[in-house]
Structure 1
Amino acid sequence: IKNNFLYYYNYYINNIYNKKFYSIIDHLLNKSREHIKDFKYKILNIKNFNIELLLNYKKYINIILENININPLIQYSDQTNNLSEINQKFKINMITTGLNSKFILNNDLRELPRNILGYISLINTNEGLTCGLVNYLTINVHLNLKYKLIIYYKYLFYYKYNFKLILNIFNKNFYNIYFNKIYLKKNINFNKTNILTINRNTFKINNILKNTIYIPFNYLLSFIENLIPFIHYNDSIRNLMSIKMHVQIIPILYPTLNNIITNYNFILNKYLNYLIISYQEGIVIYVSYIKIIIRDIFNRQIIYYLNNYKKFNQNILLIYKPIVWVGEKVNIGKILAINSNLLYCEYSLGNNLLVGYGSYLGYEYEDAVIINKKLLYNNLYTSLHLNIYEVSFNILNNIPEICSINLSKIHYKNKKNLDKYGIIKEGSFVLANNILISKLILMPFIFDNKNLINIINYLFGNKLRVFKNKPIISTIYDIGRVVKIEFLFNNLYNKKKENNIYLKVRIYIGVQKYLKLGDKICNRHGHKGVISYINEINDMPYLNNKIQPDIFISSISIPSRINIGQILEGIYGLNSLYTNNRYIISNNLNKNYYNNYINIFNYYKYNYNNNYNINKMSYNYNKYFLKNPFTGHLINNSFCLNSIYYYKLIHMIQDKLRYRFIGLYSELTQQPIKGNTKQGGQRFGEMEVWALEAFGASFLFKEFFTYKSDDIKSRKLLKNYLFNNNKMKTTFISETFKLILKELQSLSINIETFCIFNNNNFINNLPINIIY
């Protein structure tokens, strides 16, 4: 009875056909229905209803914005590039519709059942409390919003009758599905080829000729996972980290095409909203970076404007580039312009770098990275950001706020970039603490002697006025150039209101962010690192053919993270660098050639790389001896050289670096207060520690662990040293270490320290109490 119940539960009740899936649209509609009911109740109680009340209802609008930005089931606006947009579009929720029930669910419900295989990605999911609840669709699956079903729309090859078949959730249980052609020949009948298949949520061993269907390995993965070559050579947890890194990649100004690509670099364009597509047939008559004009078959001029001032919520600028020319014939659906995430209609967000795995100068400790200064000279990882200032001018008690260049107590050098109205000019370069807009507020003039005021007004013919300067000043993060200024006028002026906005000024500042110490870079296999040192070009080791590596990475970081796929990508990348070719690597290389194909192909590429560099060793894993730039002799240890595609992540040091003294601390935990507005401390992560250890910053570590941590006595000694010029004493042990000792004592583990000294050839042990 128990076995029959489990069978009927898995086949009928727990089937995909009986489940309802929730997409981003469903969550937005459910959230909006709840707040519209409250809004209707408030409208009915208002006597004088106006349409402006609906538009200016801030509470309702803020709730919708909060769900779009913060809700982990939606979070659609959390985008840094086009890949993050596609990743958010195909997000679904299988179990719950709200956020409150996720704390009650067990780990068994978060796991993927077998009947989901092929419909939902096996790797891609959210992190934290929503792990397993928020999933992502695979490549060949679409969500039918009418019936809330997930259906296969891909034509698959049927082995027996040699025709194409549509496989959906109804007829998939009638076939034996297999994902890899690994034949099992450990049986009595050796001539028969048996294979591991799945049928009705159970794995079986069947003959390959008996009603079987082959589904490629790519169909089990999502969109971003299929962009990673050799993904099955990496650890699954490292693959999940690489997916999260792809969402955090920053588009750069000068990307290059990837030498090692997959079959899905071109397919993802159809899911984008940031492409400009032609909606009629015609001929292009005008092309520029501002607009594209097409004359259609009805002799009409259709204008497509390129909005080059769009940005993501991370202040990353989108630049549109036209890919058509004058005189070209355009059909319906033709792509007219692409954004900065694409190059030749292909995803290109990074550059091919020559990576050296080995030890050099000790700065590559753990995940720290040494880069060549040639990357900075060529602007390979320079990104463009857009900061927007919006200033509103109000009318307070029928007295408007104005802007003028006549500012008191301000030097003329600070006003040289302002026009006659007190607004910064377009094209001017902005530094820190520069005036963007001069804002003057009329203050009431209070004076006891009214007769004196009347005499002054009679002599000069003007009334006495007192203006207060409130200029808008740029910050240290806005060092760039003013690219655009907009003026928004409001003609709906109501005299009954006390505060009326009659003018808004928007200033667009373009900021170029270069590669600096402390920035993070990563590749497609989840290998990321912090830049710890920028070496000069003349100080980099080189080969006999004068080739220099672009970056140096520790070789220990590869086997410890089990991402061998980057080694295989580096082999083919180095071969493509020598031959000027590109390789399309599919994740089902063993489909037609079985398991030995990749091994034979790898051996051939190894030999070709060695012959190019006149290396006699036949199978040396791309190891080469580099020359010391200071002496010209060979370095003792060999280096492994590979060519890998690297990206720049959003974790940039320019946004994190702040200068301050020891800030405020909480009374209970004695930890720094969080938040930039409160001048609080910042979390010092694991990778930042490795970069500082590689740099040898021992005194900085001492400050982090004592003065800037929870060591109360050391903090007081530092303040006395700075303000009263007292002598600095030895540091004490922090409060967290004392708490660890108390926890160990509760486990019956006692830790003591002893002072050992030699006095007349006698060694005495004196215990020192380090807790009190």
Structure 2
Amino acid sequence: FLKRGTIEALLKEGKKLSKMALSDLDFGELDLSTIKVKNAAASEKARNIIDEARRRVERIRERTEEAIDRVFQADELSPGVVQLVKVYLAEKRKISVGDKMAGRHGNKGIIARVVPEEDLPMMPNGVPVDIVLNPLGVPSRMNVGQVLETHLGWAAAQLGFRAQTPVFHGATEHEIGALLKLGGALWAGRFLAPAVDVPDFDSTDVQSLVTSIGKVGDSFQPSKNGHPEGLGRSLDAYLGLRDKTASALIKALSAYVVSVARAVSSATTAPKLKEAGWPAASDISGKGAIKRGLDAAVVELMLKAGLKPGGKMRLRDGRTGQPFEADVTVGVIYMMKLSHLVDDKIHARSIGPYSLVTQQPLAGKAQFGGQRFGEMEVWALEAYGAAYTLQEMLTVKSDDVSGRSRTYEAIVKGENMPKPGVPESFNVLVKELQALGLSVTLGSNESDSIFGD
């Protein structure tokens, strides 16, 4: 080693280095580039470490100097401006009619109506839903995932777990169907018998059940008591699971169903349960090992609470209190508010700028333009027989230059509307045809020319 800035050796050649000797050195006084050891491999390794350390220090120094320069350099202001102050304001936008929203499956749409909470459809337990989606957003579109998300979200909300479903390795129908019935049983129990203790299922228990469901082969034939509206297999397919955690969950579920049935009916024995209108619950009441009948008992409990095993329920109209005619799928989904707010898009125009070439109104809110009246809109007016409205749309309200002025004069003077003239777009078409070398004329007969001699 040499001392920094000198040719004086700090350690004499041949001295053996030890941890004690190195701990006493002040590396700030050393010129590390002069280090030499007898072992060539060790010397090369030390040289590489020193070079890499220098490169890292240099990169940090460059980044630091750039940050310092950005702070101290003068602002590039326009001539005559001494100081510029920018104030940013945050504005809270409440959801309103016309705002755009979307789910995670391309199911986008706009808000059609915002109503008070008491007017929203209510579930059987009196809790209103948050949002109502049009069912026409499901058929004929390749986004059935939104339905499965609704079911799985409902089960996750009731059982208290978070679900992560990759695109091609997500939850199957059997898994969602089983969790749907499991969550539905807990929801029905909380609604019908809130005094009964709810089983404490955590995410580990649910994961064990899902793993066990995946191991059940498709060769299993559902029992006859499986509800036809259920999703996936009957719960009876999972009564003989080998996993202890999943088996304990199924056992706790069956005990909870019986406890709720007894609390609601005030029956203490199986025959009394059956007389009180709980035949499926009576079949599994008092039995240690259940071989079949769990699915029927769970479905029976859900139906008593107004919940179908397929994830649907009979909602009540919040305005009238009367139930709707059909069952409605209810669940938990993730909805996003998109940055397409109606307040930023609303626009109206009477007169404004026109295109220099076509003399038609410009397009877009930024140009204070008009609304496009396209081909299909023309068909609509034709279908309604609105001939004069259609004529105005295509002439005096668009690119009939002379007709615009004459129409304004007629309105001011209180006279009848004049006949429209030739739209400027026709003249543009004629000029384009003339540019192709075609002689196109317009007149009352073949000898007249609109362009003169």
Q: TM-score, normalised by structure 1?
A: 0.25
Q: TM-score, normalised by structure 2?
A: 0.40
User: Based on CA coordinates, which of the two structures has the bigger radius of gyration?
Assistant: 2
Higher share in helix:
2
Higher share in strand:
1
